[in-house]
Structure 1
Amino acid sequence: MTSVVTAGGISVTIRGPVVDEGETVLDRLVSDGVPGSLASRNAKLWGPDAAPLAARSLGWLGLPETSRSLAARLAGPAAEAREAGLDRVVLAGAGGPALATEAVCRTAGAELTVLDTTDPHEVSGVLAAGLERTLVVVTGDGLEAESLRRVFAGAFSEAGVTGGALARRFVVVADAGSSLEGAAREAGHHVVQAEPDVGGRFGALGVRALVPAALAGVDVNALLDEASRLAGTLRQPYDNPALALGAALGSSALAHRDKLVIADHGSGLAGFAGWAEQLVAGATGKQGKGLLPVVVEGVDSPGFELTGELRRVILGRRPDEPGPGREAGLSVAGPLGAQFLLWEYATAVAARVIGVDPFSEPDAGQSAAATAALLRSEEGAAPTVVRTPPALVSGAVEVHAPDDLLRGAGNLADAVDALIEAVPERGYLAVLAYLDRSGDAGAADLRALLAARAAKLRKRPAPVTFGWGPRHLHATGQFHKGGPPNGAFLQITGAVTADVPVPGRPHTLGELQLAQAFGDLRVLRSLPRPAARLHLLDRGEGIAQLRDALG
């Protein structure tokens, strides 16, 4: 059985048992008046306890129209940047807006460098490539953004950029009345005020995401036009693709198919799956519930095989068309602006079905608190990370894990196999790589290798996710701590050969990154979750050794 819902430039195809499951949930949503209530920004849709936060978080529904003033607001900074020859935009930010910006610019073919990392190797590479023509957009005051702002300010000063010229090298997006806004205005930076009623996860069409994209040369009004065409359908009880997708996602969770395995198959939306991953995981993963997105490399990749706990999702070709993946449960096609709004609406609907508040992040701050404790920044002291001896050393890889997890493993392959075997029933394995997304890009290949190995070792495959650290803290981090307690974690850190000081702070980027990794690992083990850390004494050799051990 196949159902196709098409409107507003979006096509959602639902096939197989999920058709009946989704229609049952859809009928209940319609009888409860959810389409009209959500479009009218009814904050009570997720229960009385969630209402106060929801009332301050539903501005994303109006962004297809309210964000149209952005081009005029950026006219001055854009003109100054052109006159100064600043044609290279670097985004210092984190979370959903940064991932949305990356998807927008990659899809449009616009040059943009997203830095949501504290890895000194990655940051050093960006600093060394065209600093003289760089404009930095800061989109928040989180740990990563604040550290990067300081690093870039120091680098500009060392390069002889001072005074007003230095001030014009930054565009800052900040909440009105925040300390970041005050500091930015005092420094003479261009400031764009963020919407007061839009959170990061649901802000793909807001200023935090669109300011850097617009400065990079993207026609953001075209993106908003795409979203506006879908916005006109959101009140409809039927022929509403966003409601249909939300019902299908929610019914999947109710049917215990709580892993959404997402594969792109010709969508043309580069980087979109990563943005959708952070949205769905962060909005639904709490109170021991949630949907875990598992982004795979393609429809033929290890981990896309259908099992009883998975719901397969294709971005692109419909499953009833010829080609790989035609038996997937869901597929979605349409332009990027509409897709952003579609998935935000559908995720909010799915959260209601699951019974969680989509806007809260009750567990996301645990890792940040652990990191702060390690940094001891309030005392002005260096980080207090305590390095313990490894349980096993194999070539360029140290293995750090409890003895009861390793179970006497004598080599690297055995150690990884022990962690795979420790994945709980109906659970998953998450790879958390605190490395350089560019220089250590080969680490991403580990996801498919681990998925294939897990399928051989276990009677049923274990879904394997991959996330770069500390990016994943703002993406799937909430799910890992607050979702179903069935995850196992393989953290990877790497030796630093050239560190970067953080001006005005007692720590370097390398020390900060290690504190973030240790803080996150400390929280995961306290929950408790099975977790091992692999430390690469040489990054290139270590990654190659891991691939050989798994291949």
Structure 2
Amino acid sequence: LSITEEQLAQHESLRKLAEDTKKAGFSDALVLGMGGSSLCPEVLAMTYGKIAGSPQLHVLDSTDPAQIKSFEDRIDLDKTLFIVSSKSGSTLEPNIFKQYFFERVKQVAGDQAGSRFIAVTDPGSKLQKVAESDKFRHIFPGVPSIGGRYSALSNFGMVPAAIMGVDTKKLMERTEEMVQACASTVPVEENPGVILGLILGCAAIAGRDKVTIIASPGIFDLGAWLEQLLAESTGKQGKGIIPVDRELTAAPDVYGKDRVFAYLRLESAPDAQQDSKVDALEKAGQPVIRIGIGDTYDLGQEFFRWEIATAVAGSILRINPFNQPDVEASKIATKNLTSEYEKTGSLPSEKPVLEDKGVKLFTDEKNAAELAKLTASDKSLVGYLKAHFSRMQAGDYFALLAYVEMNEAHEQALQKVRHAVRNKKRVATCLGFGPRFLHSTGQAYKGGPNSGVFLQLTCDDAKDLPVPGQRYTFGAVKAAQARGDFQVLTERGRRALRVHLGADLEAGLRTLEAAVNQALS
């Protein structure tokens, strides 16, 4: 609640950091983080782009080997500042990212490698000790009392912001206006955060628990940050708000009665087509929350407004919006699998329920029995998908969880699949790239209402990358994360099917798209 005042009071340290980064001549900055440590920096990078005179900001939040290599190929190791960002300092992914890139930088900078690294972490963490030992350029403290997904306005968001050239003082001063507007002394009916939270919480209780985010093109990535905030805060004890991001807005007849639409309109660069589509939804009787955002320096206001709203919505749902009990379950399952790999050099063997068209299907015994009954004599990829989709009812949602490289081509292919399901089944749809969604929407998928139908996608990595100091590779970690995630979904009684696409990912995605279309026809 006091973070803007604190940041303004210590603004000089951020100004000096920005100055130091410019003087050192860094061309790029790469955040190595997950969830609350990576999503705000990603929103800033996508919103502001490259700011003249400052490094270009990139964000790595995937253990997919192809994605890691893609980032490495994009930057000059000798001119990149690496921001290792982890509140606890013990999160698996940032630690192995750091191990990998520190070794790579040592090859070009020798014993000066530490001067290319910054840590953002809570005081006394394991990462702080590593940063001190490896002579990092700077160490910036987190605020231990602020949870990861609520930390956008703390150093986890503002250190990358300063490095990429954002005027953090201006951003904080604007944000302070929202902080004052949301103060406890402001009456409820005039308090923007509380009003939004009341709407979200009451709508969810009334059955409209899918918050569908529509954001202007200039701030489109804000939805990725909101996904984590809403899902991880509210999705527990069988309750929750399911955020729907990057789903293309369609005609009103595609939607059921389980949605609330949040239209985040950038007033300085609105999209006329979006305006007319949202008007049509409203005329058709769909509830639409309209939020006008003056310009991109008002982003901080939205971070704060939605944080207050999420806490309020949590109180209405009678859950604790500040914990994430089911995230830990996936981490434990993954740790067990990576430990097994360290001992034996491989993950435990698995038996598919079906092999067809170069694709393998996996699930647990309960789902397998139900799907076998529904497929009857059609034991094919199309038959299984048709059976799986037939389990969707009104008020359910479909989530496509893809453990593949997050890039434009893959996103386009998977968006086709999600929209085909949405348009045919008239259900809300989510698309998450693994493992990043584990630190975001994964909590709601496992701990929230049992209204999700899940299709997990995995593949064999064409090229793998080693994790320095470990027997396991990045590909093995990703595979363990996917299996751990799926295991917890099925333990929670979720309707889940895993599609393993093999080594030729592009061909596998084409096969999947064709099979999905056939299953829906």
Q: TM-score range by the shorter chain?
A: 0.7 to 0.9
SS in 1 for 2:326: coil
Structure 1 equivalent of residue 85 of structure 2: 139
Q: CA shift at 1:131, angstroms?
A: 2.0
Q: 1:410 to 1:91 in 2, by over 3 A?
A: same
* Aligned 8 A contact 1:405 1:530 in 2: no
Unaligned runs of 5+ in 1: 1-60
Q: Distance in 2 between matches of 1:325 and 1:290?
A: 24
Q: Which runs of structure 2 are paired with 1:368-383 in the superposition (5 Å)?
A: 368-376=331-339, 381-383=344-346
> Is 2:490 the partner of 1:543?
no
User: Of 379, 387, 405, which residue of structure 1 is paired with 2:371?
Assistant: 405
Structure 1 equivalent of residue 278 of structure 2: 325
SS in 2 for 1:324: helix
* Aligned 8 A contact 2:213 2:243 in 1: yes
* Aligned 8 A contact 1:90 1:136 in 2: yes
- Cα deviation digits, residues 318-338 of structure 1 (max 9, x gap): 99x961112052122213111
Structure 2 equivalent of residue 10 of structure 1: none
Q: Which runs of structure 2 are paired with 1:115-264 in the superposition (5 Å)?
A: 115-129=60-74, 130-140=76-86, 141=89, 142-158=91-107, 160-163=108-111, 165-189=112-136, 190-235=138-183, 236-237=186-187, 238-264=189-215
* Aligned 8 A contact 2:354 2:381 in 1: no
Q: Distance in 1 between matches of 2:501 and 2:113?
A: 37
Q: 1:365 to 1:371 in 2, by over 3 A?
A: same
* Aligned 8 A contact 1:223 1:337 in 2: yes
What amino acid maps onto 2:418 in structure 1?
A: L
What amino acid maps onto 2:510 in structure 1?
A: A
Structure with higher helix content = 2
- Cα deviation digits, residues 149-174 of structure 1 (max 9, x gap): 0010111123x3121x2011110011
Q: Distance in 2 between matches of 1:529 and 1:156?
A: 43
Q: CA shift at 1:348, angstroms?
A: 0.7
Structure 1 equivalent of residue 53 of structure 2: none
Q: 1:353 to 1:262 in 2, by over 3 A?
A: same
Q: Which runs of structure 2 are paired with 1:349-498 in the superposition (5 Å)?
A: 349-376=312-339, 381-389=344-352, 391-395=354-358, 397-401=359-363, 402-405=368-371, 407-408=374-375, 409-423=378-392, 426-438=395-407, 441-456=409-424, 458=425, 461-498=426-463
Root mean square deviation, CA, Å: 2.4
Q: Distance in 2 between matches of 1:257 and 1:448?
A: 25
* Aligned 8 A contact 2:342 2:472 in 1: no
Identity fraction in percent? 32
What amino acid maps onto 1:227 in structure 2?
A: T
* Aligned 8 A contact 2:43 2:221 in 1: yes
- Cα deviation digits, residues 435-466 of structure 1 (max 9, x gap): 1112x64245434533433543x4xx221111
Q: Distance in 1 between matches of 2:305 and 2:248?
A: 22
What amino acid maps onto 1:415 in structure 2?
A: Y
User: Of 506, 516, 531, which residue of structure 1 is paired with 2:471?
Assistant: 506
> What TM-score do you get using the length of structure 1 for normalisation?
0.82
What amino acid maps onto 1:144 in structure 2?
A: E
Q: 1:433 to 1:358 in 2, by over 3 A?
A: same
* Aligned 8 A contact 2:45 2:58 in 1: no
Q: Distance in 2 between matches of 1:344 and 1:304?
A: 32
SS in 2 for 1:299: coil
Structure 2 equivalent of residue 277 of structure 1: 227
- Cα deviation digits, residues 529-549 of structure 1 (max 9, x gap): 111111122111111222333
Q: Distance in 1 between matches of 2:253 and 2:261?
A: 7
What amino acid maps onto 1:413 in structure 2?
A: V
> What TM-score do you get using the length of structure 2 for normalisation?
0.87
Q: Distance in 2 between matches of 1:81 and 1:92?
A: 17
Equivalent pairs, count: 481
> Is 2:480 the partner of 1:515?
yes
* Aligned 8 A contact 1:202 1:279 in 2: yes
Q: CA shift at 1:76, angstroms?
A: 5.3
Q: Which runs of structure 2 are paired with 1:3-152 in the superposition (5 Å)?
A: 61-69=1-9, 71-74=11-14, 77-110=17-50, 111-129=56-74, 130-140=76-86, 141=89, 142-152=91-101
* Aligned 8 A contact 1:433 1:468 in 2: yes
* Aligned 8 A contact 1:376 1:384 in 2: no
What amino acid maps onto 2:451 in structure 1?
A: N
Q: Distance in 2 between matches of 1:70 and 1:151?
A: 32
Q: Which runs of structure 2 are paired with 1:264-343 in the superposition (5 Å)?
A: 264=215, 266=216, 268-300=218-250, 305-316=254-265, 323-326=276-279, 327=282, 328-329=286-287, 330-334=289-293, 335-343=298-306
SS in 2 for 1:103: helix
Q: Distance in 2 between matches of 1:309 and 1:274?
A: 21
Structure 2 equivalent of residue 35 of structure 1: none
* Aligned 8 A contact 1:370 1:519 in 2: yes
Q: 1:139 to 1:271 in 2, by over 3 A?
A: same
Q: Distance in 2 between matches of 1:304 and 1:93?
A: 40
Q: 1:392 to 1:380 in 2, by over 3 A?
A: closer
Q: 1:168 to 1:274 in 2, by over 3 A?
A: same
Q: Distance in 1 between matches of 2:139 and 2:353?
A: 47
* Aligned 8 A contact 1:89 1:216 in 2: yes
What amino acid maps onto 2:199 in structure 1?
A: A
Unaligned runs of 5+ in 2: 51-55
- Cα deviation digits, residues 197-252 of structure 1 (max 9, x gap): 11111111111122122112222222212211111111311322222111110110
